[in-house]
Amino acid sequence: MNRILITGAAGKIGSTLREGMRGRYAVLRLSDIAPLDPARAGEEIMRADLTDLAEVEGAMRDVDCVVHLGAIAGEDTWDKILPHNVVGTWNVFEAARRQGVHRVIYASSHHVVGFYRRARFIDQTVAPRPDGVYGVSKVFGEAVGRLFADKHGLSVACLRIGAFRDKPADRRLLPIWLSPRDAVRLVGCCIDAPDYHFIVVYGVSNNRRNRYRNAGIESLGYRPQDDSEDYAADILSTPDLEDAISRQFHGGLYAQMGFDGDLARIE
C-alpha cells in the first residue's frame, strides 16, 4: 500500500491517524470539507465533498487504500445523515470501484448493534440492531461494503468503533473505549493485513470490561494495548448518570426514545 486516502481527515480520528501514521506509507492523502493544516512531507491535501461523486472520484485517483471516516459522527436528523453518511458512503465505494482502489476501510460504529442488551456478549456475526438514524446509516455502509466486496472484488474492512476518546469519560465507555494509540494500531493492521475479502471488527481497546468478541480475526494481527480499567476507579467514584433505559443497551443513551444526539447530559 503506497498511497492511502483518509476521508474526514480533519476530524478527531482523522487527525490522530494523520499523526500516528506519518511516514509509514509513501503518501497519506488527506481529504475533508473542513480545513486541514498544510501538507508536510509525505502528505497530500485534497478537498472533496463526499456528497459529490465527481469530487470523491478525483480524490481517489492513484489510491491503493481508502480509510473512510468522513461522516456526521453521531446521532442527528435524517436530513443531515442522508447526504453525508448515506450518499457520501455510497460515493466512496463507487468512486473506489471506478478508480480501481484495492481496499476500503470503513468507519462503522457499535451503534449498528446498539439495541443488544449490554448483559450479552456479542460478536460480529449477530444481526444488526441499530439504535437510531446514525446506526441505520452505518448498517447501510456495512451493506454497501459487502456488496462492493462480493460484486466488485474490493477488499473491505468495517470497523465498529466503540468510543474513540483520549480517555473514557463515564461508565458506559469503560467496555467500549478505543484509545488513540489503539485506533492507529487497528487501522494500521487493516491497511497492512494480507488480502482479506470482507471483515467486520469491533474497534475497542483491550478493556477488561469489553462485551464484544472479534471472532476469527486473528490474522489481522490487532493487539490492543490500552485498558479502560486504568480509569475505572475514578469513574466509578462519580455518580452514575445513566438512566434505566440507557443502562440496559450497548448503545446507551442512543437507545432512548427521542434521543437527538445531545450527549451533554451524560458526557
| Residues belonging to the active site | 134
Burial class (CB in 10 A: 0-12, 13-18, 19+), 236: exposed
Q: Please report whether residue 71 would count as binding ligand NAD according to CB under 6 A.
A: yes
Residue 210 in the binding site for ligand NAD (CB under 6 A) = no
Cβ burial of 60 (10 Å; 0-12, 13-18, 19+) is buried
Q: How far is CA 120 from the centre of its chain?
A: 22
The answer to whether 109 contacts ligand NAD (rule: CB under 6 A) is: yes
Q: Does 13 bind ligand NAD (CB under 6 A)?
A: yes
Among 70, 180, 224, 252, binds ligand NAD (CB under 6 A): 70
145 binding ligand NAD? (CB under 6 A): no
Grid cell locating 6? 483518509
Distance, in Å, from the CA atom of 16 to the CA atom of 159, rounded to the nearest integer, reads 16
Q: Report helix angle 133-152 to 88-98, nearest 10.
A: 10
Q: Which is nearer to ligand NAD, 26 or 260 (CB)?
A: 260
> Would you count residue 50 as binding ligand NAD (CB under 6 A)?
yes
CA distances from 100 to 60, 81, 95 (A): 9, 27, 8
**Residue 11 in the binding site for ligand NAD (CB under 6 A):** yes
Does 222 interact with ligand NAD (rule: CB under 6 A)? no
Residue from 3, 4, 5, 49 touching ligand NAD (CB under 6 A): that is 49
Smallest separation (angstroms) from ligand NAD to the CB of 193: 19
Among 115, 116, 148, 164, binds ligand NAD (CB under 6 A): 164
The rounded distance, in Å, linking the Cα atoms of 68 and 89 is: 8
Using the rule CB under 6 A, which residue among 4, 5, 6, 10 binds ligand NAD?
10
Q: Closer CB to ligand NAD, residue 156 or residue 195? A: 156
SS3 at position 172: coil
* Helical packing angle, 12-20 and 180-192, nearest 10°: 70
- The CA–CA distances, whole Å, from 43 to 11, 37, 188 equal 16, 11, 17
Q: CB under 6 A: which stretch of 30-38, 112-120, 191-199, 238-246 binds ligand NAD?
A: 30-38
Nearest to ligand NAD of 26, 94 (CB atom): 94
Q: Which residues contribute to the site for ligand NAD (CB under 6 A)?
A: 8, 10-14, 32-34, 49-51, 69-71, 73, 84, 88, 107, 109, 161, 163-164
